[in-house]
Chains A and B, each alone.
Chain A
Amino acid sequence: MSEAREEFVSEAEDLLRETEDGLLDLQETLSKGCNPDVLNGVFRSIHTLKGLSGLFGQRGILDLSHAMETMLDELRLGQRELTEATIAFLLKNLDILKKLLGEIFKEGKELTSVDAALEEIGKFRDEGKGREKEVKNEPGCLTGIPEEITKVLSEYEEHRLRTALKKELCLVTVEAEFELVSFEEDLKGLIEKINQLGELIATIPKTLGVLPGRIGFDLLVALNTSLSKAKEALKLWSVNELVPSPPEPETTSSILPAVNIPTKPGEEIIQEPLLKSGSSTVRVDIGKIDAILDTVGELMLAKGAVSRIGAEISETFGFGPFSVDLQKVSRILEKRLEELQNQILEIRMVPVRQVFSRLNRVVRRYTRDKGKEIDLQLFGGETEVDKLMAEEIIDPLMHMMRNAIDHGIEPAEERLAAGKPVTGVITLKAFPKGNHVVFQLTDDGYGIQPEKVLAKAREKKLIAENQTLDHDGIVKLIFLPGFSTASSVNDVSGRGVGMDVVKEKVSSLGGFIDVETEPGCKTTFTVTIPITLAIIKAVLVSTAGETMAVPMASTSETLSIEPDMIQHIEGKEVIELRGKMLPIVRLAEMFWLYHDRPRERYFVVVVGFGGRRIGLLVDSLLGQQEIVVKPLGERLEKIKGISGAAEIGKYKVILVLDVESLMEEAMLSSQTIKADSDGLGA
């Protein structure tokens, strides 16, 4: 793809995403009135897209975005009313734009014709014509506003001003002056304050009466609080009243749904960035960052060589000034490299809000299709996670969301019968936890019925007829491969549709998943994934001559044991750990590695969490190290028990264990043994 086209697609993609987010936001808050800032943002995105596609000669996108822009312009100028149907219509056309962009990306040119869409927009506009809300340029409306302000207002700003006047809001100008070099930050702070008090209509820079090296602004604001409150909040600046509002300011805010929409508790507060701080950001291909990370990885190896040579020099020639210097330098090098690595990792971080907004859209569509009323509540959008992780986690989360909508939340009549509110609530919370990010998805639906799960597992012969499990054990059966078949929708126990797939995906990301449920009440899935794919702390172990890495995140402790501490219970090897049985697995055996002779001492790496823990038996521990985990690539992804590889020392590549899948394998094999012996007994 040519660079220009790549640039075009990338910029257009961003604009479409902004448009989509804006439209969804409008859709969500429409019942409380139309948020003019968001609407204007949508208009701006489409406007920019139009300009962009025109310059790039993409006729279809140009025509369609032009038509949409005209519609949006009418909407934002109040010449047409924003309705649910209008938003849906715009979203539909947005999809066409996306399709066209996809064609340009894949085929190099637009394939779909936009004629039909244009015609539809024309029709849609004609139908709405009768309902025009505002006649352009109502005379006499701008009394009281000085001419030096009105003459610089754009059509849109003027419209906002007229609207404010019509609502009889108190209009003020806020005069502010800043150092020229740093005014953007300071002004941003002021604008944030102003947004709490009302609507910022225009930001007018002024030259007169300002000292050199400084810059002044007049900010035109329509207050929806009282003037005295605004003066109090902005006491550092001078606030001048232009048009007073009529008395009884108390009721003003309640009849003003359009401005500063109150957010429900728990609802994601999406701040419309008034100040697009685009000036200090760049868009970078993630591949380029990966390349830098790789280079740093190689630098790390080179640094290792430097310190090794340093050590050899002092060994051979004793401690001289040179060797001491060399060691000092190599320590500095090490520290700086670590900093560099962390900084690069930081660049890759994105807020999970990006994930949320994509989920939000799909969920809303899906919910509409299913005819269920669902209130999706999202928390912790600011939590940061590696870009790649964010991309990878969307699918599993989506899968779980669909499950919650399909099988979690009951149909309306059942909910009423159970004394629950008709609207089901699904909450998704994200929060950081050490080096991990936790996603918690809760629905207030059926919960998982253990009896039904158990019956289904037996029916599918996933467990032995007479095997007993505790509540948690039963619920976790939904993660077993083969448990779920997307049978029928009304099959209540069909909750686990594809949960094994979700689990596998999460585990391939180095994470784990857990479920808790209160039957009849709620179900919570907890997905924990590392913040970043790239660098992890690991315990290096050696067994049968092979060196391998066990991620620290899944390791709770390491033990040194003698062979006679291993006991045999029900054909399994266990050791006693603080009064409890810990099943152990010989890593060499599990991996079919050749073991030469029994040893006098073994080491055990305890992995897993809570009640689900096993010990990995290895020959020796080689210490802890930070490693850069590389994926094995698609050709090797089928290999079980290994999650990736890492380079250590002198071009040596070691394998990184996939603890989750090893544990599963260990549990499964012990289950089969048990099931077999049970079978023999019967």
Chain B
Amino acid sequence: MKSILIVEDSAMTRAMIRTALENIDDCEVEIIEVESGFEALRILPSREFRLILTDINMPDINGLELINFVKSNPTYRNIPLIIVTTECREEDRNRGMALGAFAYITKPFEPEALQKLVQKALEE
């Protein structure tokens, strides 16, 4: 079973992402949701994640800090990250990509688009 981590402080957005992920054909995934960067930091060592979807704007640490944390840690650096953010945060998105994120998707998103991205990331 593949574990995917969703880091997002809006419950509604998390639910939307979860629904999209659960509807990916032929792909059994375990979806872990957390609502802050801190929780993400804590849950990271607990399983082998295959993918992380993260927001940028969060109350404790920002998504960039999380991406950097993952990418600079030998244990986690191979986990692909997808940035889920709103279209107006272009600058932050670019910084995230520069830090090594796999892709980004802007809210609101089409479930199919997200599904495609996730599938691609999992194939990596």
Contact = CB atoms under 8 A, between A and B. Distances in A.
Chains A and B form a bound pair: yes
Interface of A: 7-8, 11, 44, 47-48, 50-52, 54-57, 62, 66, 69-70, 73, 151-155, 157, 180-181, 183-184, 187, 202-208, 215, 273-276, 278-279
19 contacts: A7-B11, A47-B57, A51-B12, A51-B86, A55-B13, A55-B107, A56-B12, A69-B88, A152-B65, A153-B95, A155-B95, A180-B42, A187-B38, A215-B41, A274-B60, A276-B60, A278-B59, A279-B36, A279-B39
Task: Name the residue in A50, A187, A273 with the highest tally of chain B Cβ atoms < 10 Å from its Cβ.
Answer: A50
Contacts of B72: 206-208
A145 B84 CA distance: 28
Interface string B9-27: 1111101100000000000
Given A154-B56, A204-B65, A55 B95 contact: no
A435 B34 CA distance: 38
Given A203-B60, A279-B35, A154 B95 contact: yes
B17 to A, nearest CB: 9
B69 A155 contact: no
Given A73-B88, A183-B38, A205-B41, A154 B57 contact: yes
B59 A275 contact: yes
Nearest to A150: B95
Nearest to B87: A66
Contact of B36 (A62, A215, A276): A276
B32 interface: no
Given A50-B86, A151-B98, A207 B57 contact: no
A8 B64 contact: no
B12 A8 contact: yes
A154 B62 contact: yes
Identify whether the interface residues of A are mostly helix, strand, loop, or mixed. Answer: helix
B88 A51 contact: no
A19 to B, nearest CB: 14
Given A51-B86, A55-B108, A202 B60 contact: no
Contacts of B95: 151-155
B86 A47 contact: yes
Contacts of B88: 66, 69-70, 73
Contact of B12 (A52, A66, A73, A184): A52
A52 B14 CA distance: 10
A273 B60 CA distance: 10
A406 to B, nearest CB: 41
A73 B36 CA distance: 21
A128 to B, nearest CB: 18
B13 A52 contact: yes
A97 B35 CA distance: 25
Task: Name the residue in A51, A151, A275 with the highest tally of chain B Cβ atoms < 10 Å from its Cβ.
Answer: A51
Nearest to A137: B91
A44 B36 CA distance: 13
A151 B10 contact: no
Contacts of B59: 44, 273-276, 278
Contacts of A154: 56-57, 62-64, 92, 95
B2 interface: no
Contacts of B99: 151-152
A55 B12 contact: yes
Contacts of B42: 180-181, 183-184, 215
A119 to B, nearest CB: 19
A11 B11 contact: yes
5 closest residue pairs by CB, A with B = A54-B108, A207-B73, A276-B59, A152-B68, A55-B16
A274 B62 CA distance: 12
A44 B57 contact: yes
A155 B36 contact: no
Nearest to A180: B42
A278 B36 contact: yes
Nearest to B12: A52
B120 interface: no
Given A157-B62, A183-B42, A278 B89 contact: no
B61 interface: yes
A203 B61 contact: yes
Given A7-B11, A48-B10, 17 more contacts: A11-B11, A47-B86, A51-B10, A55-B12, A56-B12, A69-B86, A152-B65, A152-B68, A154-B95, A184-B38, A203-B61, A204-B65, A205-B65, A206-B72, A208-B72, A279-B36, A279-B38
